Amino acid sequence: MSEGLEEPRLRLGDDVDEERREDVRAPEAEGEGEGAEETAPEPDWEPAPSDEELPAERVELPAEEDELPRLHAGEHSAGELRIPEGYGVIEGEPAGARRSVGVVVGRFNGALTGELLTTALDELERAGVGREAVTVVPVPGAFELPLAAMALAKTRRYSCIVALGAIVRGETPHFDYIASEAASGLQLAGLETGVPVAFGVLTVENEQQARERIGKAAEAVRSALEMADVFSQLRAAAGAPAQ
């Protein structure tokens, strides 16, 4: 290549580099002379950190949220139901006089359901229900409880039904299906027959939880007797014979 062609290229490259250097120096030059605009001073404060940047102990809820009552999931609220004066009230008593009771109990997990049955029978005796007024119907498991409860209720010989069983969670979804069907089936038995059916079926994670809840059988007995008394009062108010 000839020298005449190379020389302009060298000068062109030098010019371009010079322009770039001038562009880089331009901001400094603009602030050097008199009358030049002063750049805004950097603020002497820092923006407040976000909640994610704050330590856990410094993150605070808004006042209105912090004042909300704290609810503890899984706990029952203690206290009595208060009904204002001036209203008609029909309230049952868990009394067993003149009551006949059917008890359906699953044999599956018999070590647990046997304790439930003993607890329920003791509570029936304390409530004044004689042994001759109690009929116990054992069934294979919790899944059969609704069918037995329905059959007993349809005889119209019993004031109420108490269903007892123990369903312990295993490694498969079987637990969920059985617990759901037992609960809905027992409720359906009461709705279709008009005879109170109390749910005394334990649905627990392990045997220890079940043993801690054996007293639920006594609660089921009291619930059944109370609802039987309510139904009796309703029938009496309507002029129907008491059951």
Task: Point out the residues that are catalytic.
Answer: 174
Q: How far apart are CA 207 and CA 115, in angstroms?
A: 12
- Structure-token match 């059985």, residue found: 178
Encoded amino acid at 38, one letter = E
Question: Where are any strands of DSSP class E within 4-159?
Answer: 101-106, 134-139
- Structure-token match 């409720």, residue found: 187
Q: How far apart are CA 219 and CA 179, in angstroms?
A: 19
Q: Which stretches within 127-240 are classed as H helix?
A: 145-154, 174-193, 207-212, 216-237
Contacts of 106 (CB under 8 A, 6+ apart): 113, 138, 139, 140, 141, 142, 144, 145, 164, 165, 166, 201
> Would you state the structure tokens that stand for residue 239, as one six-digit string?
């002029």
* Residues across the chain: 243
> Would you state the structure tokens that stand for residue 127, as one six-digit string?
């409530």
Contacts of 24 (CB under 8 A, 6+ apart): none
Q: Are strands 197-204 and 101-106 parallel, antiparallel or unpaired?
A: unpaired
> Would you state the structure tokens that stand for residue 174, as one six-digit string?
């079987």
